[in-house]
Amino acid sequence: MGSRNSDRIPIQMRRRKCETVADMAAQGWDVLSKCQACGLVMRVNLKMIAKVSGPATSLWNRKQRCRRVGCTGFIEFQGRAPDMHWHETLAAPSDGEM
Ligand SMILES: [Zn+2]
């Protein structure tokens, strides 16, 4: 009923509507951080980030150091909108922006 086959939307296309953590929180995104070295996965608290770093904070294309003691890896952010079936890395080329 009026719902499009939205799991076929490339995640890059979603970015324009959910650039910031405030947008993502409002739209019910579930975001995880995953370390590419040790595999540590943590759930990201979007509202907490909005409070601490500001609602305009963006997690797209963002890399941070892993927080596990002794790990030198980097984490990447993976997000899932309510109409997506699995988490996808929050990576989108910025040259596609209007
Ligand atoms: Zn790690």
Q: How does the average pLDDT of the chain come out, rounded?
A: 89
How many domains, the chain? 1
Q: For position 47, what pLDDT does the model report?
A: 96
Residue-wise pLDDT tens digits, 27-40? 999 999 999 999 99
Asked if the structure places residue 27 within a domain, the reply is yes
Q: 72: CA distance to ligand 1 center in Å?
A: 6
Instruction: Give CA–CA dist 37/74, Å, rounded.
Output: 7
Domain with 15 in it = 6-83
User: How far does the centroid of ligand 1 lie from the alpha carbon of residue 63, in Å?
Assistant: 12
Q: Residue 73 corresponds to which tokens in the numbers above?
A: 């890896």
Helices and strands, number each (H, E), in the chain: 3, 5
Residues of the chain with pLDDT under 70: 1-7, 94-98
Tell me, in angstroms, the distance from the centre of ligand 1 to residue 85's CA: 25
3-state secondary structure of 74: strand
Is there a domain that residue 92 lies in? no
91 located within any domain = no
